[in-house]
Amino acid sequence: MIKNKFNSILVVEDETKLHESLGEILRYYSDSIDFASNGIEALELLQKRSFELIISDMQMPKMNGLELCKKVKEIDPNQYFIFLTAFNDNAMLHEAIRLHVTGFLIKPLIVKELQEEFKNIFEQIKMQNISKEKDLIEEKYQNLQNIIDGVIDPIRVIDENFTIMLMNEASKKQMGIEYIKDKKYPKCYEVLHQIEYPCSTQNHVCLLESVIKTQKISSVLHEDKDKNNIKTLEQITISPLKNKNGEVYAYLEHCSDVTELIQTQEKLQYEKHYDSLTNLPNREKFIKQLQESIDLSEHHDFVNCIILLNIDDLKIVNESFGHTVGDEIIKNFALWVQGIIKKEDSIARIGGDSFAILLHNVVDKMAPVRLIKEIQEKTNNSSIEVMFNDLEICFSAGIAIYPDDGITTTALFKNADSAMHNAKKSGKNTFCFYTQDLTQKALDKLILESNIKKALKKDEFSLYFQPQYNSKKDTFIGMEVLIRWKESKLGIISPDKFIPYLEYSGLISEVGNWILETIFYTVASWKKQGLNPGKVSVNVSLYQLKESETFIKNITNLLEKSQCDPNWIGLEITESSMMGNFDKTISTLKKLKDLGFYLLIDDFGTGYSSLSHLKNMPIDKLKIDKSFVDGVTFDKDDQVIAKTIIDLAHNLNLDVIAEGVETKEQIEFLKDHGCYDIQGFYYSKPLSQECVEKTILHKG
């Protein structure tokens, strides 16, 4: 747009009568017009204020127009200055031109000529302003270029169309060739990210678009690859560039490669929480994990456990062979333990020769002991060679249980540490619970677990038979086979104590197969001798049922080898064991039924099986659990349950037997309600094979 008014005009004219007429003409071109009668007056006014345009007569007393123009140009060479003259003095005109005056107006003033002259002057002023602004912009950009060239990091000046207007040398070094279409004016995304279009993904949000929208400085961390395809992390900051009027004319982008800084920060953060030798969490990290576990346990009623492990005699190793060997022991020990613990559990190195293990949601308080024994087995079977000698690694362990031994991280650590030191005092290479009673129980169980693995080979298991009778006819009808363990040092051990360890150790299937094999051969032998043992029932464990195909195959082979008729044998399955995987269990039971076995549900009433389940089971007999039989003479609830089971069996055409019967009153109650088959101390305690043969079979 062409300028059509001046901010202010000074008219210098010695003919004062012309002031009013000039004012009338010039008021269309400025709202501020002042007059002076000669050059001296004009200079006095110029000392007080400035004027955008001076219109001066050339011929004036005291100081003519040329002299005034010289004085003015000395003060401001860019002052707009127009001569007003009625003379054609070539010398004066040449001098005026030399002074770079803006133009000439001829007296008398003609409005049309004045308008045309002012139009030319305004156009000239516009061009001069454009030139000045261009010079200023070029100067500004040159200054900016000089500044950014002195910066090590890549810096770019970008317009709102993503075009790079300026960039420093560091930025030019980032430029690849593949994606840049216009090398003179490349796009910022071509240079920085080596892509063809502006960033638009979650990983690469366009920061420039955000700054254009908010007009505020902003930063973002970008993961990129440089022109050599090497992964880098860059902190990108974009700030708006504004002119003196506060208008944004471009955007300054500063890129700082923070890859090493981030890596250093991550390394420092890692070193703060992890041990440099083993790469395990350190004490600080472990305490944090322990606190999180405690917080979780408070809401879900979990039991947690921490185990402190201390490598025995590591100080002696360090003094004898040096810390390099000691470090090797620590690293190997850490790897061994890591390979044993579960993924959900945690291990940390909390000191020079000390480690901590956190077990989450511990169901069995023997779990930490079994873990320690596993680690001991690994260390006992491993060694580190030093100077042609094999160094064995031993450790002592202390166990603290949450919440029994403490409800805070401090208390648990202190008590586990106390337990560990007690283990050291006990002779090292062992463990202690914080509670001494638990330590003794755990040791007893360990001995039991250790010995039970040898019991089968040492022929310490034996089979006993508890006779079953029909109370209505008072006749012998069969027997249940019961296992007994006579340990060489501990004597007779109750099945309630050792059966869980058979299950835990995985020996239950092996022992179960041994029982079946022994009974098949025994019953077949009795039959050959003409003896009648009735229906001989054997308990089948959940673990045998789980191994369905193997179990069926083994039992079929045993029948063939022993020449035992499956009709002679009853297989007892506990009600609770059937509920785990009902469909699979039913399938296995049907296969056993097809082989000819008589099937019983043991401990009926304790496993919460539904009637719909029961009617689908291929069973022959229900066994009322002893817990209900005990109260049938005085407890109304037990009476109702017992009667219900008996009625249920009758309605489903099943046989029924009660176990654990000890009194005549119990027998009478059961007989009165239709249960005649009885097993319990009332008739007989469990008998050895020799006693059964002597007192029952040969008598019969």
Domains of the chain: which residue ranges?
9-132, 150-262, 281-434, 460-697
Contact 469, 658 (CB under 8 A): no
Q: Which fold has domain 150-262?
A: Beta-Lactamase (3.30.450)
Q: What pLDDT is recorded for position 468?
A: 95
CATH architecture of 281-434: 2-Layer Sandwich (3.30)
Q: What pLDDT is recorded for position 436?
A: 66
Helix, strand, or coil (residue 103):
strand
Q: What pLDDT is recorded for position 1?
A: 39
Helix, strand, or coil (residue 100):
coil
Structure tokens at 35: 């007059």
Burial of 362 (0-12, 13-18, 19+ CB in 10 A): middle
Q: What pLDDT is recorded for position 430?
A: 85
Q: Which residues of the chain have pLDDT under 50?
A: 1-2
Q: What pLDDT is recorded for position 257?
A: 81
Identity of the residue numbered 658 = A
**Residues 52-68 as b or e (16 or more Cβ within 10 Å = b):** bbbbbbbebeebbbbeb
Contact 196, 190 (CB under 8 A): yes
Distance between CA atoms of residues 670 and 473, nearest Å = 14
Query: CB neighbours of 264 closer than 8 A, spacing ≥ 6?
Result: none
Which sign does the torsion angle of CA 166, 171, 172, 177 carry? negative
Which stretches within 310-408 are classed as H helix? 314-321, 323-338, 367-380
> Domain 9-132 - what CATH class?
alpha beta
Q: Which CATH superfamily, name and number, covers 460-697?
A: EAL domain (3.20.20.450)
Structure tokens at 119: 């139009």
Distance between CA atoms of residues 460 and 514, nearest Å = 12
pLDDT in tens, 381-422: 887 776 666 778 889 999 998 888 888 999 899 889 888 888
Q: What pLDDT is recorded for position 30?
A: 87
Identity of the residue numbered 54 = I
Structure tokens at 205: 């949000």
User: Which candidate, 506, 533, 530, places its Cα nearest to that of 519?
Assistant: 533
DSSP for 26-87 reads: HTTTBS-EEEESSHHHHHHHHHH---SEEEEESS-SSS-HHHHHHHHHHH-TT-EEEEEES-
Rounded to 5°, the CA angle 257-260-262 comes to 90
Identity of the residue numbered 112 = K
Burial of 353 (0-12, 13-18, 19+ CB in 10 A): buried
**What is the H or E stretch that residue 474 is in?**
none
Distance between CA atoms of residues 36 and 124, nearest Å = 26
pLDDT in tens, 646-671: 999 999 999 999 999 999 999 999 99
pLDDT in tens, 356-386: 999 988 888 788 988 988 898 888 888 777 6
**Residues 129-145 as b or e (16 or more Cβ within 10 Å = b):** eeeeeeeeeeeeeeebe
CA dihedral 344, 345, 346, 347 (to 10 degrees): -130
- Rounded to the nearest 10 degrees, the angle between the axes of helix 495-505 and helix 508-528 is 120
Contact 450, 488 (CB under 8 A): no
Q: What pLDDT is recorded for position 2?
A: 45
Give the phi and the psi of residue 365 in degrees, each rounded to 5. -70, -5
Distance between CA atoms of residues 305 and 404, nearest Å = 10
